[in-house]
Structure 1
């Protein structure tokens, strides 16, 4: 019928067709008409899909990101907020600073709920998942059954008060050691760990310092945890990162360690001695020593590394992982990978 109508329009336009030509042209015109309808339908579906990805109307899925970060000095926090603003252009993002600080996590969740997301994805902007801060946060988010013993210590850091606080609005006491309240499902990704983008950034930091790679030793230095088990996890991930660096470069040698700032003596002293041995050995071999800290942002820990290396010959990267646009990319990739598993 559509083909007959199209042929009639041709005739009305002054293009005459005899019956034989009509019989030949009719199936071809019908095919063209069906193709036009199909393309139109596809375009409409694509448009609707794009709307659904950015809208919560009609019950469609819309994730929001709870960006977790340790927090530090003003400059440190500013870098994280800048990163969050980048990610927020694509997916609603709210930051919660602190070491498993429930008050800040709850506030960020409330802000995401107000932005009408349908699911919350927590992304820990931490160097390693091997941390009692991470396990404590998992408990607060309802992703872990038992509270780690360290959570009580972190709770005391909440505004420098004790474990319980009176709500400023005059409500019930606020307990920083119990899980948060959320009307939305919450999931959580891994931390930076051994992600390839982290290796790419570290390699760029080393290359920025480099003059003649074949006569240079790179030492990747991370803060590290207190416990031996967690430290083993840190070192395993750092080893995987360093393997990527070795395959992509021709430095004389690339080594790595954690300085374990928060660990008691003699652990901390042993880490300092190990770092100095690495740097001294490289110098004695006639190599330049390139120190590349595996830190999220500068704000104090790098000064401790410099102090540990006093009197030795080395150069240190002027920049940590931040600022770098690839970390915004990492956040989005982590959310995408997790939501694909739905």
Structure 2
């Protein structure tokens, strides 16, 4: 007898507003195509949020009889080291490629991993929607997507590959003069500005943070890195946007289908 459940994992924050954004997005997940049996959904966090950590989420689902856990990592990129260490701790990877303090979780259920947001088309769609209020002459405007990044080479490459694909899709959607990606680790932001200003000193540049939600990086770090430069910026991140919930809904539903007819027979 089997039963499936969904575990959404995000980073965690000391900000109640940040947690509320995540909770609202998870609560908005709709039909998972599971038939008459309701699929339990639990939102958990990698760190900081005591009582709602990943182990707490696993325990909650298993206490409800769940034997197959579909894990939705609510992270922006495959380049996040957190995605890899979570996969390792859930038994989805034999070992991480870097040192981590995260220990394997205690679990009996089977784990079925979904991908992070990364270059899913929904990311460019959300950014395009956000840009509508910031761009009025797209054919003359340059868009700079700014992400967190990583100093570890293989994770840097994952960040860059995913963001460049988002940039390419966004360029097609919006008809912008150019769309590029820049990471904070290592810092590439001012270099992108220099390239554009050299070719067209008076060009309009719009900066968009590719972060899950607004916070320290969007409100402080990015403006500090771009201090003294001329650009348009509103600091808005991917959340709150209904498409994030639709993405989680789609990821979970597709993975549930692959589990097969054993699902939710308890």
* CA apart distance, 1:314: 0.9
Higher helix share: 1
- Cα deviation for residue 135 of structure 1 reads 1.6
Q: Give the whole-Å Cα distance in 2 for the aligned partners of 1:100 and 1:143.
A: 23
- 272-281 vs 236-245, greater mean Cα deviation: 272-281
Q: Does 1:78 align with 2:3?
A: no
Tell me whether 1:331 sits opposite 2:248 in the alignment.
Answer: yes
Q: Taking structure 1 as reference, are residues 272 and 209 closer, same or farther at Cα in structure 2, changes over 3 Å only?
A: closer
The match for 2:263 is none
CA distance in 1, matches of 2:71, 2:251: 10
Residues 166-196 of structure 1: CA deviation (Å, up to 9, x unaligned): xxxxxxxxxxx2x212222111111001101
Inter-partner Cα distance in structure 1 for 2:204 and 2:125: 21
Task: Show the 5 A alignment for 1:1-342.
Answer: 59=1, 62-72=3-13, 73-87=15-29, 91-98=39-46, 104-152=53-101, 155=102, 177=103, 179-260=104-185, 267-268=186-187, 271-278=188-195, 280-281=197-198, 284=201, 286-302=202-218, 303-342=220-259
Stretches of structure 2 that go unaligned for 5 or more consecutive residues are 33-38, 260-266
* Alignment partners' CA distance in 1, 2:184 and 2:16: 24
The Cα shift of 1:100 comes to 11
Quote the Cα distance in structure 1 between the aligned partners of 2:92 and 2:48. Answer: 13
Once residues 97 and 324 of structure 1 are traced to their aligned partners in structure 2, the CA distance between those partners, rounded to angstroms, is 20
Residue 82 of structure 1 aligns to a residue whose secondary structure is: helix
Q: Give the drift of 1:280.
A: 4.0
CA distance in 2, matches of 1:143, 1:250: 40
Q: 1:334 to 1:255 in 2, by over 3 A?
A: same
RCO higher in structure (CA 8 A, sep ≥6) = 2
Give the paired residue count: 250
Distance 1:135 1:180 in 2: 14
Counterpart in the other structure of 1:48: none
Where 2:132 maps in the other structure, the secondary structure is: helix
Contact 2:182-2:189 at 8 Å conserved across structures: no
Cα distance in 2, alignment partners of residues 139 and 102 from structure 1:
21
C-alpha distance in 2, partners of 1:215/1:233? 30
In 1, Cα distance between the equivalents of 2:139 and 2:97?
Answer: 46
Residues 117 and 133 (structure 1), Cα distance of their counterparts in 2 relative to 1, 3 Å cut: same
Distance in 1 (alpha carbons) for counterparts of 2:31 and 2:254: 19
Distance 1:132 1:230 in 2: 7
Unaligned runs of 5+ in 1: 1-58, 156-176, 261-266
Shift in CA distance, 252/147, structure 1 to aligned 2, threshold 3 Å:
closer
Query: Residues 146 and 189 of structure 2 are in contact (CA less than 8 Å); yes or no, is this contact kept in structure 1?
Result: no
- Give, in angstroms, the shift of residue 278 of structure 1: 4.8
